[in-house]
Amino acid sequence: MKKANIQYIIKTFFLISLIILLSNESSAIPAFARKYKTSCMTCHIAITKRNAFGEAFRRNGYVMPEHNARLIKEQPLKLGAEAWKEVWPDAIWPSDIPGSFPVAAYTMMRMEYNIMKSPEKNQLSFIFPNDLVLVFGGAFGEDVGFFGSWGTEYGLFKFYVRLNDLIGPKHLLNIKVGTFEPGIMDGYPGNQRLTLDYTAVQDYSAAGDWRPRKTRPGIELSGIIAHHLQYIAGVAQSQGGTELQQINNKDFYLRLAYKFGGYGLDGDGILLDSLHKNLSVDNSFTLGLFSYFGNSLKANLNESYDNKFNRFGVDARCLIGELDLLGGAIYGIDENPLADNNRLTSLVYFVEGNYMFYPWLIGVLRFEQVNSKFENNDVDKYFNIIPNITILFRQNVRFTVEGKINIQGDKNLNGFIQVADNTESFKWLKLNAVFAF
């Protein structure tokens, strides 16, 4: 064995040992677990991927789903007596605030190993830490929830308030106001993934800086009907251009989804009295359809111009025992991405399987493909294969080993075929550790 290879093996072993030693210092639990005095696994399969109960908790605006509110152990601070409800509107409607400041944090330690021979062979990078994120959330009573995230990379990139159960039956109408990920991504929200990379459907930017998962200021209506039918409709601030142009331009989106079988989207059927119940098993099939109509205000050297764009998508998830199969596709049309009225079309899709071998060991394999073109000329044409192994060292300490294989397709450019070079298709191997506290 070459001396250089032995050195890399020693470095890798030292790094893994160091991370494991550091992880013993991370014994605290996040804010919601502290509030309810419960295990992280009540809501999560593996941080940050949620089970059926955790998803219902999120959809309920971080209010405990019905029939489980009695599990609250950290009592909130009451703002007014219940009797005030009887004399409203001659008194202020009573509420409460969290008994302690509801803040949690997570940080990532990452090592990246560059498989490619160029520009530098076998390049090993230590990124300690990769990011530090503060997450805060809670509820004011049962009808107002809030959630936010602040990170060293983007600052305050998410914060919203949600008003629950405004009219009609429970869960029928909720309003979210703030900066958040548009509801078209509710089928596979960003913090639900186990992989280090987002899926291409979430993250691909066909024409510039807009991408489906990017948080935007907006207002969103949502509701759940008969436990299994969900609707989401929203208005978001357009991006780019001057502040005045942003104020005068809005994006619109809509999502409909139905869950066949399993627990209700609102947590119906889940009772946490039986904590032996494996909430990661939720045999069901969920199908969602969504659309987004936007306007990205852009600029080149000579002028500013509008790029109106549409996105039409589908997402699906099938849960069978310990197997989680999910996928989605999004078709895009950008009318004027380069100020020449030349339309850009794109089609992106992914298929992913997650299998829980043990409660602490999960394997992930994802295939995704990207195609975009101006008329007959290809712009992007490639697919990725992403294998991932996730290990829960502790409930709040997660290790991930992930690789990426990127294979470029042959492109058609002005009638000529440009043959792709895939001699270095294995791009990188990453080892990542997440600590939540």
pLDDT in tens, 211-227: 999 999 999 999 999 99
Please tell me the total count of domains within the chain.
Answer: 1
pLDDT for res 15: 39
Burial class of residue 1 in the structure, from the number of CB atoms within 10 Å of its CB (0-12 exposed, 13-18 middle, 19+ buried): exposed
Helix (H) or strand (E) holding 223: strand 216-225
Cα pseudo-dihedral 9, 13, 15, 20, rounded to 10: 160
Lowest pLDDT segment from 98-107, 143-152, 270-279: 270-279
pLDDT for res 10: 42
pLDDT for res 120: 58
pLDDT digits (tens, 9 = 90+) for 263-320: 999 888 877 655 445 666 889 999 999 999 998 877 666 677 788 999 999 999 999 9
* Residue 207 falls inside a structural domain: yes
Query: Per residue, what are the HEC states of 159-202?
Result: EEEEECCCCCCCCCCEEEEEEECCHHHCCCCHHHCCCCCCCHHH
pLDDT digits (tens, 9 = 90+) for 19-59: 333 333 333 335 566 666 666 677 777 767 777 777 877 77
Q: Is 154 helix (H, G, I), strand (E, B) or coil?
A: coil
pLDDT for res 19: 35
Q: Is 64 helix (H, G, I), strand (E, B) or coil?
A: coil
State the CB neighbour count (10 A cutoff) for residue 49.
21
Beta carbons within 8 Å of 104's beta carbon, 6+ residues apart: 30, 31, 32, 134, 135, 136, 436, 437
Please identify which residue in the block is written with the tokens 């080892």. 431
Fill in the amino acid letter for 58: R
Burial class of residue 88 in the structure, from the number of CB atoms within 10 Å of its CB (0-12 exposed, 13-18 middle, 19+ buried): exposed
**Contact present, 297 and 256 (Cβ < 8 Å):** no
pLDDT for res 30: 57
pLDDT for res 140: 77
Domain span including residue 57 = 28-107+114-349+369-378
pLDDT for res 155: 84
* Residue 182 falls inside a structural domain: yes
**Contact present, 235 and 252 (Cβ < 8 Å):** yes
Average pLDDT over residues 108-122: 73
Query: Is residue 118 very low, low, confident or very high in pLDDT (cuts 50, 70, 90)?
Result: low
Who has greater pLDDT, 148 or 69?
Answer: 148
**Angle, CA 211 vertex, CA 209 and CA 216 arms, to 5°:** 90
**Angle, CA 19 vertex, CA 18 and CA 24 arms, to 5°:** 100
Fill in the amino acid letter for 153: E
**Contact present, 331 and 340 (Cβ < 8 Å):** no
Average pLDDT over residues 321-333: 95
CA neighbor of 435 nearest in space, from 36, 149, 109? 109
Please identify which residue in the block is written with the tokens 């983007």. 154
Beta carbons within 8 Å of 78's beta carbon, 6+ residues apart: 94, 96
* Residue 329 falls inside a structural domain: yes
* Residue 362 falls inside a structural domain: no
And the tokens for 118? 């160029």
Who has greater pLDDT, 5 or 198?
Answer: 198
Sign of dihedral through CA atoms 193, 194, 197, 200? negative
Mean pLDDT, the chain, as a whole number?
81
* Residue 91 falls inside a structural domain: yes
CA distance 437 to 30: 5
**Contact present, 114 and 120 (Cβ < 8 Å):** yes
**Contact present, 297 and 304 (Cβ < 8 Å):** yes
* Residue 435 falls inside a structural domain: no
pLDDT for res 338: 84
State the CB neighbour count (10 A cutoff) for residue 39.
13
* Residue 145 falls inside a structural domain: yes
Query: Is residue 110 very low, low, confident or very high in pLDDT (cuts 50, 70, 90)?
Result: confident
And the tokens for 350? 């992914």
How would you classify the pairing of strands 123-140 and 103-114? antiparallel
**Contact present, 279 and 65 (Cβ < 8 Å):** no
Which one-letter DSSP state was computed for residue 18? H
User: What pTM value is reported for the model?
Assistant: 0.82
Beta carbons within 8 Å of 242's beta carbon, 6+ residues apart: 297
Sign of dihedral through CA atoms 118, 124, 128, 134? positive
CA distance 14 to 120: 22
* Residue 384 falls inside a structural domain: no
Which one-letter DSSP state was computed for residue 409? P
pLDDT for res 28: 36
